[in-house]
Amino acid sequence: MPPAAILDVDGTLVDTNYQHVIAWYRAFRRHDILLPLWRIHRHIGMGGDQLVGALAGEEIERERGDDIRAAEKELYVELIGEVEPFEGARGLIETLKERGHKVVLASSAKAEEIDHYLDLLDARELADGWTTSADVEATKPHPDLVVAAVEKAGGGEAVMVGDTPWDCESARGAGVPTVCVLTGGFSEQELVDAGAVAVFESIAQLADRLDETPLA
């Protein structure tokens, strides 16, 4: 069997990273914590249960972490209508399926967000499965998400497709290689340094060059 394709969703299949930056910025600001946008962006791709402490410190995480996360969720919902799939996202899923791969969409977002993305991608009947926040105890960079996605694919060999260093770190912890795209706003060198075995400009370019990856 070809390896399963574990596809990150936010920033990889759908263009969400900068909306999340704005939502986190406003959520922290609502709690009188002013963070520069560039610092928040450096942590996008990390799960919300990890991000608050990483950006604002463990004391803020203990005292206000849940409230900040709740605010981010509310604020992101106001922006989700602006989210669009990346060009070629559904085509990549179709190509992978045609080549015999099982495809699982890997996300630690809430179920309602994943439902929205599945509809945007028209992938509900195409993908073999997907994960949500209910499937993981600890989010990226912990390996739980990738492990859960591989289990939904039936186990065995797998390849992660992502857009951030946190995807690479999470996959590495699960023993899975990562192929990355630049659509998350991280540089090729950063992704390679984090462990990406190949980096492509876009999902469309990756689909054209699958034979240059472990998904060959």
How confident is the model at residue 198, as a pLDDT?
98
Domain boundary among the residues 29, 59, 81 is at 81
Clarify whether residues 93 and 171 are in a common domain.
yes
The answer on 194 and 152 residing in a single domain is yes
Considering the domain architecture, whether residues 24 and 42 belong to the same structural domain is answered as yes
Q: How many domains does the chain have?
A: 2
What pLDDT sits at residue 1?
87
We report the CATH number of the domain holding residue 139 as: 3.40.50.1000
Residues of the chain with pLDDT under 70: none
Whole-prediction pTM = 0.95
For the segment 79-110, what is each residue's pLDDT rounded down to a tens digit?
Answer: 999 999 999 999 999 999 999 999 999 998 88
Q: Which domain holds residue 55?
A: 17-81
Q: Tell me which of 81, 102, 137 is where a domain ends.
A: 81
- In this structure, the answer to whether residues 64 and 158 fall within a common structural domain is no
Q: Residue 130 corresponds to which tokens in the numbers above? A: 């997907």
Say yes or no: 22 and 107 in one domain.
Answer: no
Residues 69 and 102 occupy one common structural domain: no
Decide which of 33, 48, 81 is a domain's last residue: 81
